[in-house]
Structure 1
Amino acid sequence: MKITENNEKKLIITILTKIGLNEENSEIVAEATVDADLKGFTSHGIGRFSQYIKGIENGNINLQGDITIEKETEAIALINGNSAFGQVVAYKAMQLAIKKAKRLGIAAVGTHNSNHFGVTGYYSDLAMKEDIVGIVTANTEPAIAPLGGREALIGTNPIAISIPSEKSYVGLDMATSASARGKLLEAQRKGEQIPENTALDKDGNPTTDPSEALKGSILPFGSHKGYGLAFMIEILTGPLVNAAFGKKVTGTADHSKKCTKGDLFIAIDPAKFVGTEKFKKETEEFLDDVRLSAPNTIVPGDLEVKKISSNKENGIPIDKKLYQNLKTICDNLDIELDDYLNM
C-alpha cells in the first residue's frame, strides 16, 4: 500500500482537526510529517501517529497549548512549549530564530516543555529556504550508555545542519547514535532485525533484536566521537534551555509519559558575513569540487533528494502494521482510511 504526498497531508490534517487541533497547527504538523516520509525517515513520519494519539489521550500533548516566550533578548529566546505538539513548538522557535538572525546576523532559540517533533532537518531546512544557515539539536530519552558502561544515560541526540546554496540541497540530519531510536521502533513494528554493531541488550551483549535493543542501549556512531557529540548536545539541550537531561528525559519515545526534553535552534545569516550570493556561489563551487573528485561521490543531502523524487513519483509506502495502526485511529474518528490510499 502507498499514499501520495498530498493525500498524506490531507489525512493528517483530517485526523488532527477531528481530535481538536486547530487547522493552522494541524497543517504545521502535517508538513513536518510528510517531509519526514518523503525523505525516507519513515520512523519519524506518519508511523509515529499512534504514539502521538497515545500522548494526547494521556494528556501529555496539549491540543490547545501555545508557546510562551519566557526570556528574550535581541539575539536569543527561551520558549516554554506548554506541552503543545512538538512540531508546532519547533516551527515557531525556528521562525523566531530566523527573524532575529536576519536582523542581527546570528540567533539562538531554546525550547523546553515541548514534545517529539519528527525529523530535526525539517526545521534547519526552514532556515535554508530563506537563505539562512540552520542548525538544530535536541536531546531524547536515554539510549546511549557512556563508554565503558551498560546503563543508557544519554539520548540519541540528533543534529541537523542545512546550508543555502545556488542550486543544490545541502543538508545533514543525523542521530549521534548508530541508529535513531525511531528506526528501532519501526523495526520492532515490522518484525525486522536491526543491523549488527547497532545496539546492546540489557546485559551489554550485542543484539540484532530491536526489542532487546530498546531494553538495553544503542551504540554511539564512531565510538568515542559520537559519544562525545551526544554528550555535549545533552548539555546544550538540557541545562542550557531549562529542560531535563540524562535519566530525567522522558516522553520522546514513550508518549504515555510527559515529554521533558529540550531543543536548540540556531540561525546564521550569511548576508552579515560575506554576503548571501557570494556564500551560496562558493558553497556550490565546493559541492562541484567534491562531486567531481571521484565517481559516485555524494554530498550531504543528495540521498534525501533522490528519495524525495522517488516518493513523489511512486508514493510513500505504508506497511501492513502501520496500516492497521492508522485504521484503528481513523475508525475511531469515523474517517475512511482507504479513501486516502493507493491500494
Structure 2
Amino acid sequence: MKITKDNEIALVEEILKKLGASEEDSELVAEATVDADLKGFTSHGLGRFPQYIIGIEHGTINLEDNITIERETPAIALINGNSGFGQAVAYKAMKLAIEKAKEVGIGCVGVHNSNHFGVTGFYSDLAIRDGVIGLVLANTEPAIAPIGAKDKLIGTNPIALGVPSDTYIALDMATSATARGKILESKRKGLDIPDGWALDKDGKPTNDPDAALEGSILPFGGVKGYLIAFMIEILTGPLVNAGWGFGVTGTADPTQDCTKGDLYVAIDPSKFVDPEQFKEETEAFCAQVRSTGDTFIPGDLETKRVAEAEANGIQIDEKLYEQLNEICSNLDIDLDSYLEE
C-alpha cells in the first residue's frame, strides 16, 4: 500500500482536527510528518504518528497549547512549550530564532516542556528557506550507555544543520548508531536490526529490536559519538531548564510527560559577508567536492529520496496500516480512500 504526499497531509490533518487539534497545529504536524516520510526517515513520519494519538489520549500532548516565553533578550529566548505538539512548539521556536538572527545576527532559542517533534532537520530547513543558517539540537530518553558502561543514560540526541544555498545542503542525524525510531520501526515490521546498532541489557551485541530497546544503542563513531551526545545533553538539558540523563522521559513512551529539551540556533550570513558571495563560495565548494569523484554532499540523499517518494508514493507496511486503520475507524474516517495499491 502507498499514500501520496498530498493524501498523507490530508489524512493527518483530518485525524487531528477530529481529535480537537487546532487547524494551525494540524497543518504543522502534517507538514512535519510528511517531510520525514519524503526524506526516507519513515520511523519519524506516519510510522511515529500513532505515538502522538496515544499522547493525546493520555493528556501528555496538550491540544490547547500556547507557548510561554519565560526569558528573552535581543538574541536569546527560553520557551515553555506547555506540553503542546512538539512540531508546533519547535516551529514557533525556530521562527523566533530566525527573527532574532535577522535583527542582531544570531538567534538562540531554548525549549522545555514540549513533545516529540519528528525529524530534527525539518526545523533547520525553516531557517534555510528564510536565508539563514539553522542549527537544531535535542535530547531524548536515555538510549546510549556511556563508554565503558552497559546501562543507558544519554539520549540519541539528534543534530541538524542547514545552510542556505542554491543546492540543498543539510545534515540531520542522531548521535547514536541509529535513531531509536528505526529500532521501533524494525520491531513493528518484525525485522532484525543490523549488526553494530545496539547492545542487550547484558551489554552484548544484539540483532533483536526488543533486546535493543531494553538494552542500549551504540553511539555513532564510538567515543566521538558518545562525546558529542554528552555535550548535546547539557545544551538541551540544564541549559534550557529541561530534563537530562535519567530525568528525560516521554520521547519514546507517550504515556509519560515529555521532559526533553531543544535548542534552536539561527545565524544570518549577511551579518558576516555579502550573502551572494556566501552562496557563490558555498556552491563553489560543493562543486570542488563533486569534482573529486563519485561522492555526495550533505542533503543529496534526502533530495533523491524526496524526488522518488513524490513520484512513486510513500510505502505503508501492514502493521502500520492496522494501527492507522484502528485510529481512523474510531474517528469514522475511511483510511482506504487515502491509499493506493
TM-score, normalisation: structure 1 = 0.99
Q: Aligned to 1:134, what secondary structure does the other structure show?
A: strand
Deviation at 1:233, TM superposition (A): 0.1
Q: Aligned to 2:70, what secondary structure does the other structure show?
A: strand
Q: Aligned to 2:77, what secondary structure does the other structure show?
A: strand
- After superposition, the CA RMSD in angstroms is 0.5
Whether 1:261 aligns to 2:260 is yes
Give the paired residue count: 341
Judge conservation of contact 2:124–2:136 (CA < 8 Å) in 1.
yes
Q: 1:243 and 1:224 mapped to 2: Cα distance? A: 25
Judge conservation of contact 2:33–2:49 (CA < 8 Å) in 1.
no
Q: 2:282 and 2:192 mapped to 1: Cα distance? A: 39
> Counterpart in 2 of 1:82?
82
Q: 1:186 and 1:255 mapped to 2: Cα distance? A: 16
> Counterpart in 2 of 1:299?
297
> Counterpart in 2 of 1:252?
251
For 2:96, the aligned partner's letter is L
Q: How does 1:167-206 map to 2 (within 5 A)?
A: 167-206=166-205
Q: 1:25 and 1:279 mapped to 2: Cα distance? A: 35
> Counterpart in 1 of 2:66?
66
Unpaired runs of at least 5, structure 2: none
Unpaired runs of at least 5, structure 1: none
The runs of 4+ residues in structure 1 deviating greater than 3 Å are none
Q: Aligned to 1:309, what secondary structure does the other structure show?
A: helix
> % of aligned pairs identical?
66
Deviation at 1:49, TM superposition (A): 1.5
Q: Aligned to 2:262, what secondary structure does the other structure show?
A: strand
Q: 1:244 and 1:73 mapped to 2: Cα distance? A: 23
Whether 1:284 aligns to 2:283 is yes
Q: 1:44 and 1:233 mapped to 2: Cα distance? A: 20
> Counterpart in 1 of 2:11?
11
For 1:57, the aligned partner's letter is E
For 1:340, the aligned partner's letter is Y
Q: 1:55 and 1:203 mapped to 2: Cα distance? A: 31
Q: 1:308 and 1:50 mapped to 2: Cα distance? A: 23
Q: 1:179 and 1:34 mapped to 2: Cα distance? A: 20
Q: 1:36 and 1:111 mapped to 2: Cα distance? A: 21
Q: 1:168 and 1:206 mapped to 2: Cα distance? A: 39
Q: Aligned to 1:46, what secondary structure does the other structure show?
A: coil
For 2:239, the aligned partner's letter is L
TM-score, normalisation: structure 2 = 0.99
Q: 2:151 and 2:66 mapped to 1: Cα distance? A: 35
> Counterpart in 2 of 1:236?
235
Deviation at 1:162, TM superposition (A): 0.4
Judge conservation of contact 2:144–2:154 (CA < 8 Å) in 1.
yes
Match of 1:315 among 303, 313, 316: 313
Deviation at 1:325, TM superposition (A): 0.4
Judge conservation of contact 2:38–2:314 (CA < 8 Å) in 1.
yes
For 2:145, the aligned partner's letter is A
Deviation per CA, 1:236-287, whole angstroms, max 9, x where unpaired? 0000000000000000001011100000000000000012111111000000
